[in-house]
């Protein structure tokens, strides 16, 4: 199992590097952070950030959840379908990925 964790961690880092290369013009801004997260995984971004995007000065306490979602997605889970199923069961609940993991 440690080999899988290392592989997904490296994939996360590689994807993050690629996304950051495209966003140098707005580096350091909240728009940059939101864009990088969305570039890395649209499905995970939609589940964790889209309903309440980061704001200037906000500490990103959801990044750990995003990393977990990204890893789960790369392992083959259909994050978008799981999130839709969860919302259909109880639309009043927040759409946080912790409920799916």
Segments of the chain scoring below 50 in pLDDT: 1, 95-101
pLDDT of the residue at 45:
92
Residue (of 71, 75, 73, 64) closest to 98 by Cα position = 64
Residue (of 100, 72, 99, 58) closest to 12 by Cα position = 72
- Measured CA to CA, the distance from residue 9 to residue 25 in angstroms comes to 26
Q: Can you give the residue range of the structural domain that contains 23? A: 2-99
Q: 55: which 2 tokens?
A: 């704001």
- Single pTM value for the model: 0.61
pLDDT of the residue at 101:
41
Report how many domains make up the chain: 1
């Amino acid at each position: 199992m440690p080999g899988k964790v290392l592989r997904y961690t490296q994939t996360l880092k590689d994807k993050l590097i690629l996304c950051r290369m495209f966003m140098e013009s707005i580096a350091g801004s909240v728009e940059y952070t939101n864009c990088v997260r969305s570039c890395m995984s649209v499905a995970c971004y939609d589940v964790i950030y889209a309903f309440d995007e980061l704001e200037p000065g906000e500490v990103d306490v959801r990044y750990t959840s995003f990393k977990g979602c990204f890893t789960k997605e790369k392992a083959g889970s259909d994050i978008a379908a799981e999130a839709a199923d969860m919302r259909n069961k109880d639309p009043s609940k927040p759409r946080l990925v912790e409920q799916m993991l």
